[in-house]
Amino acid sequence: MKPGIALALSGGAARGFAHIPICEAFDNCGVKPVRIAGTSMGAVIGALYASGMPARDIREQTIATFAKTTDVMSRLMQAQRGRGGLFAFSFTKAGTLDPKVLLETFLPDDLPPRIEDLAIPFTAVSVDFLTGEEVHFSSGPLITALAASIAVPAIIKPVQLNGRILIDGGAANPMPHDVAGSHGEPVIACDVIGLRSPKSGGIPTPAESIYGAAVIMMQSIMRAKAALVPPALMVAPDIHGYTLFDFFKAGDVIAAGENAGREVEAFLKQMI
């Protein structure tokens, strides 16, 4: 493959499962990204793929993990009783999730403990809440990096590290194609943030307004960055029918990414 291709995966919570067919496209072509950068759920999927795990296995494990609501709830209850507790209850942080415990509950036990031990160079993107600066994790403990990248405000508590308060990378760089391509290689970028119309078809509900405003801001950031440093290919799976919280529709969300996966596969075949 000439030249090497880097891969960037956006945030998007449950919608991030649509990244999996993009990874499958690389496997189908018999090539690997030279490096991977991800934000939030894109960092989680990216780390799994960077570990050397075949994308087909990521698909199967994801579907199996979220196949039964009772199994997921059982894992969550076990995590709450052990591992220091999953939920952080207090008057100021009621119900916020501990990101490290959450990741340890659902990620495979055999993931390499450190980023530099992954099979493919990998960067997880987070943001310093106090300064607004991007924080890039390309080495160090993998779970800490992913925890910082997925720390969605008001849902998942921030990670405190070296005097910094770290939150979800989507606040500053929801699609880190500039990070993935920092060594000059062309980048394939997958956007699963998307826009979603209000269910009512009219004035959005308060929850839809908050989510929609956040998505609009993230899309604005992505467009500005893409104008400065365009990715070689940007794909956007048709995930408009799914919400951030549709984890129990994992199989359907993955299937929604298959057309984008075929687009990536066609592009890669031109590069081989």
**Catalytically active residues, by annotation:** 40, 168
Amino acid making up residue 220: S
| Residue 64 backbone phi and psi in degrees, to 5 | -65, -40
**What burial class does residue 213 get, using C-beta atoms within 10 Å of its C-beta: 0-12 exposed, 13-18 middle, 19+ buried?**
exposed
What is the chain's alpha carbon radius of gyration, rounded to the nearest angstrom? 18
CA distance 95 to 17: 25
CA distances for 58 relative to 69, 92, 124, 237, angstroms: 19, 36, 18, 18
